[in-house]
Structure 1
Amino acid sequence: MVRSSLFGLLSVPFSSMLFASNPSAAGEDIPPDDPLFHRYPSIDDAIVAEVVGASHFNFDRVKELVSQRPELARATWDWAFGDWETALGAASHVGRRDIANFLMANGARPDIFTFAMFGKYEVVKSMIESTPGIESIAGPHGISLLSHAKAGLRSNYGITLTDQEIQASEQLIAYLEELGTANRKEKDIPMSANDKEKYLGDYRYGDGENEGFTVRLNMRENLSLGKLGKSGGALFQKEPNVFTYNGITSVEVHFEVEGDKVISLTVYEPDLILKAAKT
């Protein structure tokens, strides 16, 4: 295993270092079987991740979580390497108008991607005219502004759109297509199914239960990188055996190949190099 970092390798969480210098802050009166979340009073990461994940498809669960704690309507999660997504962003790129409306009613902050999903032609056009180039910025997971606009028509989930809403969305889509800069795509050298096969599998960088990655095919038959045993974001081949991750520009994943076999991968971040051996 190779790890290097500009800041060194700190295995102790910041909160633990803080407590070490102030024992009374460590929660001495907390029962050992019911500890507070290690970043309390921040909301537990598991809850934040759940509400963002559920906002893609599970309206009932979103209502349950957000009704109890409306602040979760503004939840934001980093899926990996800085792939930040809000709950509203999740609903927006899959066209869930129902979930998006509920989140905004509880304080979620709409952005250009949300307005695009709702087909708000005049709003999106004015934002682009006031901030030239904003249309080319990618949304969560590297998804383009044009894709968000199309999602608003594609997925209605029981909501019947009015003729006016449909026309506004179609007008916005035509406008964005005419611009030619609102459909950002990752460079991706095509690969055959056989080419992809050699990358699939588990890669370990330590002995811990979760210290590793899994490379598998996602629903679009693209390679994806996730935590060990889990799905993750798409990999796009930038050059042979070198990939970018889900629209993240500062991270590259390099695979080491011997003959026809992949033996390891190395993640290059601005201040971290992490090598994981294929198992």
Structure 2
Amino acid sequence: MSKTIFTRRTAIKSSVFGLLAVSIPNISYAKEIFNTEKINPKLFHRYPSIDDAIVNEVVGKSHFDLDRVKELVDKRTELARASWDWSFGDWESAIGAASHVGRRDIVNYLISKGARPTMFTYAMLGAFNIVKSMIEMTPNIQKTLGPHGISLLTHARAGLRMKDKMTEGQIENSEKLIEYLEKLGNAGGESYAKLEEDKMQKYLGDYRYGEGEKDGFSVKKNMRKMLSLGKLGEFGGGLNPVGDNRFLYNGVSSVSITFQVENDIVKSLTINEPELTLIAKKV
């Protein structure tokens, strides 16, 4: 039977090589940690909050682009609960965006990743018993408006936009819910005067209130064939007529937009909200 003999020299050699074996990967790891090329010095100004651009994109894409939503949310599942303020407190979540356009596929994906469904989500999904129970538990909650001032009834109707991919039971429940909400009489939101398209023309264009690149608004005609107010070059919330050249932003009572008109030509607009009045000249 062979015998292993450890000498002082053997011990020293073993110690040295053992130290090297441990140290070499540690040294490489240390270099990796302190490799400044992999550290981004330009952190988002509200870090560790998630970058606004990412939040904006996931909420925006949740209106129509399932593939992109998956790319974003699969990497960071917390984005399934993302919310964005489009302007003047018009908060919208990713699942809220998918809900009011009737994208059941995007809604179901977001729920699977931890999104929080709301009454508006359930209305779009045609969840008759759930919505009815919520209304009975909280009378008149059916009058509450969703993102962009969109009503509960409109969400329920949006649930049939993917009718060709729905089961007979889903279609039946959606139609049952729509009928129920219609009978309530006040689940369809406020009614505003309709502005004829030929009368919209004078309002369309860009308005500036400062010298900065983003210091201004654009008034456009949106998909719902109504005026919208957004950041320069962009679409925004709908403008609901409430008087001569006066509008409410998405039906929000605390924000009004009034256009100054001379000889039927729009010169500027004034935004009035709590503790702020802002004038922007048409350019």
TM over 0.5: yes
Q: Point out which structure has higher relative CO (alpha carbons under 8 A, 6+ apart).
A: 1
- Once the two structures are superposed, the pairs formed by residues 129-168 of structure 1 within 5 Å of their partners are 129-156=136-163, 160-168=165-173
Whether 1:222 and 2:226 are equivalent positions in the alignment is yes
Post-superposition offset of 1:186: 4.5
Counterparts of 1:198 and 1:54, CA distance in 2: 31
Identical positions, percent:
59
Counterparts of 2:86 and 2:132, CA distance in 1: 30
- Could you list the per-position Cα deviations for residues 143-170 of structure 1 after superposition, in whole angstroms to 9, with x for gaps in the alignment? 11011111111235xx722211111111
Range with bigger deviation, 127-136 or 254-263: 254-263
Q: Quick check: which has more Rg, 1 or 2?
A: 2
Give the aligned partner of residue 213 of structure 2.
209
- Could you list the per-position Cα deviations for residues 109-152 of structure 1 after superposition, in whole angstroms to 9, with x for gaps in the alignment? 01100111111100000000000011010000011101111111
- Once the two structures are superposed, the pairs formed by residues 173-212 of structure 1 within 5 Å of their partners are 173-187=178-192, 189-212=193-216
- Of 242, 246, 249 in structure 2, the residue corresponding to residue 242 of structure 1 is 246
Please tell me whether the aligned partners of residues 52 and 77 of structure 1 are also in contact (alpha carbons under 8 angstroms): yes
Post-superposition offset of 1:192: 2.9
Please tell me whether the aligned partners of residues 30 and 36 of structure 1 are also in contact (alpha carbons under 8 angstroms): no
Q: Cα RMSD between the aligned structures?
A: 1.8
Post-superposition offset of 1:247: 2.5
Counterparts of 1:205 and 1:133, CA distance in 2: 40
Structure 1 residue ranges without an equivalent (≥5): 1-28
Q: Which has the higher helix share?
A: 2
Give the aligned partner of residue 256 of structure 1.
260
Name the TM-score, length of structure 1 as normaliser. 0.85
- Of 89, 109, 114 in structure 1, the residue corresponding to residue 96 of structure 2 is 89
Name the TM-score, length of structure 2 as normaliser. 0.84
Counterparts of 2:40 and 2:170, CA distance in 1: 53
SS of the counterpart of 1:61? Answer: helix
Whether 1:101 and 2:105 are equivalent positions in the alignment is no
Give the aligned partner of residue 10 of structure 1.
none
Structure 2 residue ranges without an equivalent (≥5): 1-35
- Once the two structures are superposed, the pairs formed by residues 38-77 of structure 1 within 5 Å of their partners are 38-77=45-84
Counterparts of 2:142 and 2:191, CA distance in 1: 15
